[in-house]
């Protein structure tokens, strides 16, 4: 501004400061509400540059979360960075102490290892998952075992009341029927193993079924056989040759087969 005072002229000089951020694109410099993101640095471009370099350094050392487009090597690197082992066998799985009668599934464990590794599950996560699953399995097994025992006890009590003083004798007949009425030693052995594995030996329903079969088919001093023929005095012409009646026709053949079947022969 110029001003005349008397015969002298005075001029005030106005100094204009250059904007140090003038070269920054507006879309980068200003936010959606028009706020200047660089205002906090003032004219200190060195401070702003240092801040930018630190940000770049952090970004360069960070791991990007993979998506469906992430290459396999990058995906594997990310999973390993969060604790996923190199391969499925690398998981450390603590096997629980399981109750009697329950089996641990090796096949299920191997399946879970593969699924967990493919999904990038870390070792700590796998430990939590397997622990929770095993506890659930054991709890479910114990509940089922308790309920099964309750039902067995009730059925056994009903059988005892039904048989009265003949209960022990009836159980002995049932046990004999499971073995003596099966001619084949191999089949008899396999059947005995099946009974043991399935826990059927002392099952009340199993005992009653084979007790009834034994009472009808065993013919000795312990239990008189109830022959499925009308004539209790019937005896085939060849009492020592059951196989000759295997395909015999007519009433004689039917009675003979019934006779031998009642004594344990299997056609």
Which of 4-18, 44-58, 122-136, 226-240 has the highest average model confidence (pLDDT)?
Answer: 122-136
Helices (H) and strands (E) in the chain, counts: 9, 2
pLDDT at 229: 46
pLDDT at 168: 87
Q: Does residue 201 surpass a pLDDT of 80?
A: no
What mean pLDDT comes out for the span 145-173?
88
Residue position matching structure tokens 């604790």: 83
Helix axes 204-217, 123-163, angle to 10 degrees: 40
Which of the four pLDDT bands, split at 50, 70 and 90, describes residue 82? confident
Q: Does residue 49 surpass a pLDDT of 70?
A: no
Please say whether the beta carbons of 180 and 264 come within 8 A.
yes
Domain ranges in the chain?
Answer: 2-61, 72-142, 166-262
Which of the four pLDDT bands, split at 50, 70 and 90, describes residue 98? very high
Extract the tokens encoding 247.
Answer: 């395909």
Q: What is the pTM of this model?
A: 0.50
What mean pLDDT comes out for the span 186-190?
87
What mean pLDDT comes out for the span 145-168?
88
Which residues are paired to 9 by β-bridges? 4
């Amino acid at each position: 501004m110029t001003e005349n005072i008397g015969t002298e002229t005075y001029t005030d000089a106005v100094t204009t400061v250059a904007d140090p951020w003038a070269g920054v694109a507006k879309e980068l410099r200003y936010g959606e509400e028009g706020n200047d993101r660089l205002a906090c640095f003032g004219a200190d471009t060195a401070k702003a540059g240092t801040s930018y370099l630190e940000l770049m350094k952090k970004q360069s050392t960070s791991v990007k979360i993979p998506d469906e487009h992430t290459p396999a090597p990058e995906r594997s690197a990310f999973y390993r960075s969060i604790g996923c082992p190199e391969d499925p066998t690398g998981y450390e799985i603590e096997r629980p102490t399981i109750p009697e009668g329950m089996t641990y599934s090796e096949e299920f464990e191997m399946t879970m290892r593969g699924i967990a590794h493919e999904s990038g599950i870390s070792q700590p996560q796998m430990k939590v998952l397997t622990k929770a699953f095993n506890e659930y399995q054991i709890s479910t097994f114990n509940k089922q075992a308790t309920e099964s025992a309750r039902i067995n006890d009730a059925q056994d009590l009903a059988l005892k009341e039904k048989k009265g003083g003949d209960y022990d004798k009836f159980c002995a007949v049932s046990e004999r029927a499971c073995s003596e009425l099966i001619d084949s030693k191999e089949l008899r052995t396999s059947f005995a193993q099946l009974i043991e594995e399935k826990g059927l030996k002392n099952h009340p329903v199993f005992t009653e079924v084979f007790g009834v079969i034994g009472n009808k088919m065993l013919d000795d001093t312990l239990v008189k056989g109830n022959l499925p023929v009308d004539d209790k005095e019937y005896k085939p012409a060849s009492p020592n040759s059951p196989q000759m009646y295997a395909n015999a026709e007519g009433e004689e053949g039917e009675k003979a087969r019934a006779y031998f079947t009642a004594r344990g022969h299997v056609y």
